[in-house]
A and B are shown apart, each in its own frame.
Chain A
Amino acid sequence: MIIDVYTFPGFLKEISQDEERIAFRREQYFLLKQHVWPLSLFVTQMNAAGIDKSIISAEDVTTKAGDTIVSNEEVKLLVDLEPDRLIGFASVDPNREDAIEVLEDAFSNLKLSGLKLSPAMQRFYPMDEKAQQLYEVCIKYNKPIIFEAGMTWIKDSPTKYSNPLLFEDVAIKYPDLRFSLGHFGWPWVREVAMLLLKYPNVYADTALLYFDSPKQFFNTEFNNTLGEFWIDRMLYNKVMFGSTYPRIEQKRMVGAVNSLTLRDEQRRMVMGENALRFLGMEE
């Protein structure tokens, strides 16, 4: 079972019928030349990469830009079209006055599987009181959170909000909240390794690509910045496969993880089993 925990569905044809909305997405998500293509092609691309399931996430920037980039309802629509291949995560702008109601609706009515938050893009600090109210909703529904941590390519999104060390207080105050630090918190990968080592409820994903080809960049970050055997020997149950699709092709990120030093059992955990536990879907 291979699960990609970090994908963006905003240019799938089934939710991209309106040219103005497509242009808004290109600008807000900083994917300036992204083509629209059908969900069936995404499934074919997953098949070619050997990926069984992908987490697709909404993105809510209502208070900053006046709209969602992808709404919770659009994520729900896509999941309903491919329920065996897609796992839907909600997004809520913590600065919305109705944030708690929107999240309650996403979990109770839309049946989405978790929450995606981007502190830099949505402009909040991880221990902001408004964000903490959302964490409590997630605990109530036993839903995990994927934070976009470290650097985001998205414009007008200061990294001061998403330094991984800011999430340590969240891990301490909410030990029952499972959350993942997206992009392995790059460039603070050593700090993220510390958080993974210390806090049972903290996960991270491999959706990091900032220089070079995926294999070269993974060699730099996972074999040099971190120790070559750190994931294999210690962090194997805390790291999940993620790609940042469509910012890069999933097949290339699978190839990059396959180039890392991992024993078979540890590789299975990184590629999918950890995600199942994170999602609360472990049998």
Chain B
Amino acid sequence: MVKHYEFFVMTNDEYDTAYIGDIVKEYVKESGVKNGIVSVITAHTSCGILVTEPLDCILSDLKDLLTEFIPEDAEYSHAHFLHTYGRTSANSYGHLRSIFTGNHTLVSLVDGSLAMGAAQEIVFMEFDGPQQRKVYVDIIGE
């Protein structure tokens, strides 16, 4: 059985984070699927999804790392008008940070619950906000 769900994350700043594990758990409960795999994927290319411990200090360290590793004001090629959009791109650092973190995570589903360690949380990462971000949840199993 495959169950597909979608929800939006409204972010509040250019760089922002949101814990989304509880939303995913609600969909798991609603789906009725007991065993399988759950994928959580964002529909965008300048934000990310990852699993880490939900501590401000870890998220702060990650922000410092990403900002140093992928700075805002480097001489990016992706800084020009896009005729296919009718708008200007100047968010290469957002795309690169997204590539760095990845756009999805997978979690095992066992006996109706997400098989996650006690320290694990699913985190949505915004790198070009504020935006309205779409997230897909697919629950695959039986």
Contact = CB atoms under 8 A, between A and B. Distances in A.
Given A41-B132, A45-B130, A213-B79, A246 B14 contact: no
Contacts of A30: 86
A37 interface: yes
B81 interface: yes
Given A48-B130, A213-B76, A252-B90, A32 B14 contact: no
A212 B14 CA distance: 20
A216 B72 CA distance: 12
A153 B130 contact: no
Contacts of A249: 90-91, 128
A247 B46 CA distance: 17
Given A38-B132, A48-B129, A216 B79 contact: yes
Contacts of A215: 73
Contacts of A45: 130
Given A48-B12, A215-B73, A248 B79 contact: no
Contact of A37 (B12, B79, B132): B132
Interface in A213-238: 213-216
B12 A33 contact: no
Interface in B69-94: 73, 76, 79-81, 84-88, 90-91
Interface in B35-78: 73, 76
A247 B12 contact: no
Contacts of A41: 10, 130-132
Contacts of A251: 14
B13 interface: yes
Nearest to A215: B73
Interface in A109-167: 153
B50 to A, nearest CB: 22
A153 B81 CA distance: 10
Contacts of B86: 26, 29-34, 153, 247
B90 A213 contact: yes
B87 A31 contact: yes
Contacts of A34: 85-87
Interface of B: 10, 12-14, 73, 76, 79-81, 84-88, 90-91, 128-132
Given A153-B81, A216-B79, 4 more contacts: A37-B131, A41-B10, A44-B12, A212-B79
29 contacts: A31-B87, A34-B85, A35-B132, A37-B131, A41-B10, A41-B130, A41-B132, A44-B10, A44-B130, A45-B130, A47-B12, A47-B130, A48-B13, A48-B14, A48-B130, A153-B86, A209-B88, A211-B80, A213-B73, A216-B79, A246-B87, A247-B87, A247-B88, A248-B87, A248-B88, A248-B90, A249-B90, A249-B91, A249-B128
